[in-house]
Amino acid sequence: MSDGKNTVLAKVPSGASTGAHEALELRDGEKTRFLGKGVQKAVLNVNNIIAPAVRGKWKPEQQKKLDAFLLELDGTENKSTLGANAILGVSLAAARLAAVQKGVPLWKHLQSLFGKGTSLPRPMMNVLNGGKHADSGLAIQEFMIFPNLGNFSDNLRAGAETFQHLKKILQKRGESTAVGDEGGVAPRLPKVADAFDVILEAITVAGYEGKVELAIDAAASEFYGPDNGAPEGKYLIDGQTLSAQELTDFYRELVAKYPIVSIEDSHAEDDFDGFADMQEKLGERLQLVGDDLLVTNKKRLEMGIEKKLCNAILIKVNQIGTLSETFETMHLAKKHDFGTVISHRSGETSDDFIADLAVGTDAGQIKTGSLSRSERIAKYNQLLRIEEQL
């Protein structure tokens, strides 16, 4: 996006384990070109429909007006006319251009739009990948370390050192240390508990026992029901077939044994009884995060609050498709004391926008992968730069 003097870029990510209720990511579907994953239609929508409609009419600092206009131009609930990928690129680029025009860092501009304070987020680092993000054979998608040393740079260092020790331990055992989609290792381990054991060993060897906690993203829609080899209404994990309540018990046992403080998508995205059971039994003690469950969508969050399905929300800008709607969802979450975790996607880009977003919205937490792969490290590096500025 350009105002004639300044030119800015915004990049749009993509997920492997997308929620069924996310805004539509427009792909061409032409099987002979990029296996159907091309985005020529979305690009044409930006160039031929959005650009002429927006050019000269909106100043970038009018973010709300611009986003409302984009919604109107699309005209559908899930952004299926233009594609959420087409719309989001414009929405994020406008915010970046406004910051450049004002001569302020992006996080500061986002703070003025959002209207709350700023803080450096505590990082959740996905050091061991499973589920759809790897071939590790583990049902749970993300095994994260969650350092709690105080400031951001100390947390980052603890994460990096723990990750390096984790690789060394696996190497010694003759296990694979090749990384999965989000930069964590992906060894073939028989059971979920084996992953926690080796991560805890790495934390101890690194010298951070008691200072680095654990978090998981089960992404349970991916091991639920006939589509995933389980019977109707059941979950398949560690070779066992479990009901929703038995799955809650499975987590309860893990939490009793390991220092897990946050569980994301414990149940499948439309298994509301499963989520409610989880919130009732473990919601007092743990952060329970809705990702595929809530898809950064204000209406889904309203439903989640009313039905008491969880107590925190994952925030992914491309699940909803505009910055202003992301803010509305976050305002609602904060009003109801829900935790907010800004998140990357498994198919992430080198754009570090979400680092500024986490700071400018005072989100408190960020989930942006392991301590490898430059598309993950880009966000951590930007947070280090912001820490210096603050």
> Shortest distance, CB of residue 130 to Zn ion, whole angstroms?
12
Give the H or E element holding residue 94: helix 84-102
Contacted by 346, from ligand PGA, Zn ion, none: CB < 5 to 8 Å by type: ligand PGA
The answer to whether 124 contacts ligand PGA (rule: CB under 6 A) is no
The answer to whether 182 contacts Zn ion (rule: CB under 5 A) is no
Catalytic choice (316, 334, 367, 379): 316
The answer to whether 219 contacts ligand PGA (rule: CB under 6 A) is yes
The answer to whether 222 contacts Zn ion (rule: CB under 5 A) is no
The answer to whether 300 contacts ligand PGA (rule: CB under 6 A) is no
Contacted by 345, from ligand PGA, Zn ion, none: CB < 5 to 8 Å by type: ligand PGA
Name the DSSP letter for residue 220.
G
Active site residue 11: no
| Of positions 8, 10, 12, 15, contacts ligand PGA by CB under 6 A | 15
The answer to whether 318 contacts ligand PGA (rule: CB under 6 A) is no
Q: Which long-range contacts (CB under 8 A, 24 or more apart) does 92-96 make?
A: 92/10, 92/12, 92/317, 92/323, 92/351, 92/353, 93/1, 93/8, 93/9, 93/10, 94/1, 94/58, 94/60, 94/63, 94/66, 94/323, 95/60, 95/63, 95/323, 96/1, 96/8, 96/9, 96/10, 96/353
Interface segment toward ligand PGA; rule CB under 6 A; list 12-20, 24-32, 83-91, 322-330: 12-20
Residue 285: exposed, middle, or buried by beta-carbon count in 10 A (0-12, 13-18, 19+)? exposed
| Of positions 67, 161, 217, 271, contacts Zn ion by CB under 5 A | 217
Active site residue 299: no
The answer to whether 18 contacts ligand PGA (rule: CB under 6 A) is yes
Site residues (vs ligand PGA, CB under 6 A) = 15-18, 217, 219, 291, 343, 345-346
- Which residues does the annotation mark as catalytic? 182, 316
Site residues (vs Zn ion, CB under 5 A) = 217, 219, 291
